[in-house]
Amino acid sequence: MNYLAALVLVGVGMDEHVAFTIFVALMEHPRYNLKHLYTNRLKGVSEVSEALQAEMEQEMPLVMERVLALKLPMFTYCMTPLVGLFANLLEIDISLHVLDRVIL
């Protein structure tokens, strides 16, 4: 979540008030509702990981077989939500562009 907060802060020119407002919206607005991922012992992340694993087992069994061969629970892959994931992997300009699209 710290990557998301930092990305929002950079994206709004280090304006802490605007960044806070956006971050609260990402956590609480029904459209995004990212806070459910981090409550009740990460219950939201568990739900997402279970749904992802079921979908992958049905739609991509060969990929899922390789993922399971790594002996890491699906929960490990889902700890970082989508926005945080791209923030970790892509250059800052691309991350900000994706963040713009998510928020708009």
Tokens of 42: 């990460």
* Cβ–Cβ < 8 Å for 99, 83: yes
Q: What is the pLDDT along the chain (104 residues), one digit of tens a residue?
A: 666 777 778 878 888 888 888 888 888 877 777 777 767 777 777 887 888 888 888 998 998 888 888 887 777 767 665 555 555 666 767 666 766 665 55
- Whether pTM > 0.75 for this model: the answer is no
Domain definitions of the chain by residue range: 1-41+81-104, 43-78
